[in-house]
Chains A and B, each alone.
Chain A
Amino acid sequence: MRIVFALVVLLVMASLPFWVSAYILAVLTVAYYFGVFAMAWDLLFGFAGEVNFGPTFLIGLGAYTAGLLDNHGVPVWLDVIAGALAAVIGGLVLALPALRLRGPYFGLITLVAVLVLQQVIVIFAGVTGGEIGLTINDVLSVDPGHNYWLALVFLMVSGVILYSLSRSAAGLILQACGQDAIEAQALGFNVAKHKLAAFAVSALFSGLAGAMLVFYLGTASVDTVVDISVGVQIIIAAVLGGRRTIVGAAIGAVFLIVAGEILRPLGQLNTFVVSAIALAVILFFPDGLVGYLLRRGERA
């Protein structure tokens, strides 16, 4: 039953370019990339038990690495790979010392990392475009339908990989590390190793999605891929959809972006209404939308 439902949803999603406007496709394309951001974040928060306040540090590294290389004439596919690698390396350099710290300090370090990256981009404006942003010559495709399908396939592939990983034996160990690190160690698991690996995987998908997003948007700017508020939106999306579900994070991201677009006529009120909805869901359904449905399923 669930599989049939999922297939129908997938078919509808895949057929959208044939019957909806380019505007809707554009909104959904961005939403799908955000879906990958949120899923990658949920792997860290939901499974490794670490709150990464700086998902945009990883995303920004991927985005800017790809954009800068493109401006130096490197082919697009290589830019995207390099962007993902840069995010992994940057993420590991950050996480190696940060994971040694206990309690809220890991989160604080990730937060500071975003601010540092933001400052570096502004200071080296000559190379990075600074606050105006970096214009990118190449695009993934000029056709909105192709761009949409690319984002959809990327979302699906990332989702399948991250979800399978979370359900695998390694994912089980990661959850144990996140929930009770001392007991996980007493069972013989190297907690630091597993958390670091989770961080690397999260960085890989964040960087990859960040790099692809700039080629879709045709620009990389602090406001779209680095700013703290972008990170906050990703976090809200993941929590809204449901912690520890992976799929929920993607649904939360699509919901948040689409809701923001629908409410755009409200002007200034738009952000307020979306934030209020998010707040209400977090307060009344701390497990998120998907988490809530799963719980009800378990009880039934």
Chain B
Amino acid sequence: MTTPLLEVAGLTKRFGGLVAVKNLGFAIAAGEILGLIGPNGSGKSTAMKLIMGIERANAGSVRLAGREIVSWPTHRIARAGIGLVFQHSRPLHRQTVLENIKLALLPDSLFHLAAETSVDARARAIGERVGLGAVLDRHPTTLPFADLRRMELAKAIARDPEVVLVDEPFAGLTMAEVESFSALIRSFREEGKAVLLVDHNVKGVAALVDRVLVLYLGERIAEGKAEAVMRDETVRRVYLGGAIETHARAIAPEKSGVALLKVEDLTVFYGKAQALARVALEVHEREFVSVVGLNGAGKSTLFNAISGLVPYSGGINWQGTALAGKTPAAIARGGIAQCPETRELFGDMSVQENLDLGGQRQPPAERADRLAWLYDLFPILKSRSKQLARTLSGGEQQMLAIARALMMNPRLLILDEPTLGLAPVILEQLSKALERLRETTPITVLLGEQNVTFALPHADRVYVLEHARIIWQGPPDRFAAEAGAGYL
């Protein structure tokens, strides 16, 4: 067996009380592609940053061809032979594509005033190789999204690293583009480089990788061939959950008349990347609707469009009137409260103050009533009411975020991935709270989730979002049979 080019052992990173990466270890040999897979918040991006020295590890070792590099600064690690292909970057906009590639070929010198003539030829050759030959003299702002990703790849190739880290190689690309990117990444293997692909799901990279390592809550839960990992029980539980329970209530659309929220033909672009394509969706009064999809599928974009936070084309109707052109504040006052993925709590305010802010627009008597009701719904918040929000645990923060949204007395509560980064025991508490919310109040809920076990039990109806499109919709009890298989 060949000695591994990159060896990671005991790698640990803590952010305050949160352990983002726990005792992670793996090795990649020359000419091997390893997929580092995990749901959002699993620590895979942190692991990549630790290897690159962008974040400092609390413990552990990273060896490049036998040399310990874990405490080195990023630029030294890069010079030693590790390259990182960023998912998003800010290219030099005043320079051409060629000059952007040339940048990566320059030595780290203050006195290097003019690039050698060979640099130009090499930059051109690399540009041709990644398929940018025709656009070398254009400015990055005029390029389509896929070409910008190609440029990032070109910069990594220019450094000629022995180890290449690729962050979500296929996010936002079309099928044809995925093909040509896969070919480029395969060429790394043929050149004897060690490649680490970081991605959300196994399916996307299965054809490309030699081995897969699955991370969940900072820990390795499985490692092996892609097919074996996809069959792995623990992995299935993380992505699909264990036994899926469903409790759909029959709320027939015809009974409730006009849909509370009706989304038609919704399309959103971020610059050149398409985030949503002709999405249609309905939510009726008192209904609990779940939108499930992996990260990057477009869930947050959908919710942000409803809340008026991103520009879109198509129609979003709230109780029969179009929301287009209304400010996010007006939409929120109209009765749509979003509880974003990032929670957006006021960290330096107490639990009580956060809740009071949520209830700003309510009459004082009603505010007090709601507060009492919410403290009853989330008893833990009552005992923490004087504590600063940022000192709460992840689960408590999530409950606070939901409670704050409920303080606004919304008609529609949008929950964007409430389970993000939470431990299973917390999920259960959260699930119970949602259950009570559903049974005891007339509230309408739109839930976005990656975790199907969490999303399905409460749902009356389910939509599956994949690559910016709704690919399935139906009652939750049919999900496992009809849509579950394609979900890993």
Q: A residues engaging B (CB < 8 A)?
A: 164-165, 168-170, 172-173, 175-176, 179-180, 182-191, 193-194, 197, 244, 298
Contact = CB atoms under 8 A, between A and B. Distances in A.
A68 to B, nearest CB: 31
The majority secondary structure among interface residues of chain A is helix
B357 interface: no
Contact of B103 (A173, A186, A194): A173
Contact of B75 (A164, A180, A185, A298): A185
Interface in B54-104: 54, 73-75, 78-79, 83-84, 86, 89-90, 92, 94-95, 99, 102-104
30 contacts: A165-B113, A168-B112, A168-B114, A169-B112, A169-B113, A169-B115, A170-B109, A170-B111, A172-B99, A172-B103, A173-B103, A173-B108, A175-B94, A176-B103, A179-B90, A179-B92, A180-B89, A182-B74, A183-B86, A185-B53, A185-B74, A186-B54, A186-B74, A186-B75, A187-B78, A187-B155, A188-B75, A188-B78, A188-B79, A189-B108
A190 to B, nearest CB: 5
Contact of B78 (A180, A186, A193, A244): A186
B108 A185 contact: no
Contacts of B75: 184-186, 188-191
Contacts of B74: 182, 185-186
Contacts of A165: 113
A29 B116 CA distance: 40
B110 A182 contact: no
Interface size class of B (residues with CB under 8 A): 20 to 34
Contact of A169 (B86, B89, B114): B114
Nearest to A193: B110
A13 to B, nearest CB: 27
A169 B106 contact: yes
Contacts of A187: 78, 103-104, 155, 159
B139 interface: yes
A96 to B, nearest CB: 16
Given A169-B115, A172-B95, A186 B83 contact: yes
Contacts of A189: 75, 108
The 4 lowest CB-CB distance pairs between A and B, nearest first, are A188-B78, A185-B74, A168-B113, A180-B90
A102 to B, nearest CB: 13
B261 interface: no
A172 B92 contact: yes
Given A168-B112, A188-B75, A188-B78, 7 more contacts: A164-B113, A172-B95, A173-B103, A176-B92, A185-B73, A188-B159, A197-B110
A228 B165 CA distance: 47
Contact of A194 (B52, B99, B110): B110
The majority secondary structure among interface residues of chain B is loop
A190 B73 contact: yes
A175 B54 contact: no
A255 to B, nearest CB: 23
A259 B108 CA distance: 43
Nearest to B80: A188
Interface string B430-457: 0000000000000000000000000000
A173 B99 CA distance: 11
Interface string B149-169: 000000100010000000000
Contacts of B79: 188
Contacts of B114: 168-169
A183 B106 contact: no
A194 B75 CA distance: 12
A172 B102 contact: yes
Nearest to B108: A189
Nearest to B115: A169
A244 B92 CA distance: 12
Contact of B108 (A164, A188, A244): A188
Contacts of A182: 54, 74
A246 B156 CA distance: 30
A164 B114 CA distance: 10
Nearest to B111: A170
Contacts of A180: 89-90
Nearest to A298: B139
B113 A170 contact: yes
Contact of A186 (B52, B110, B112): B52
A197 B79 CA distance: 20
Nearest to A200: B110
A298 B95 CA distance: 11
Nearest to A187: B104
A180 B104 CA distance: 13
Contacts of B86: 183, 186
Nearest to A181: B74
A190 B77 CA distance: 11
A194 B84 CA distance: 21
Contacts of B90: 179-180, 183
Contacts of B109: 170
Contacts of B159: 187-188
Contacts of A164: 113
A190 B108 contact: yes
A194 B103 CA distance: 14
A185 B54 contact: yes
Contacts of A168: 112-114
Nearest to A197: B110
Contact of A170 (B53, B99, B102, B110): B110
A63 B59 CA distance: 50
Contacts of A186: 52, 54, 74-75, 78, 83-84, 86
Contacts of B104: 187
Contacts of A191: 75
Interface string B133-161: 00000010000000000000001000100
A169 B84 CA distance: 22
Nearest to A173: B106
B54 to A, nearest CB: 6
B193 to A, nearest CB: 16
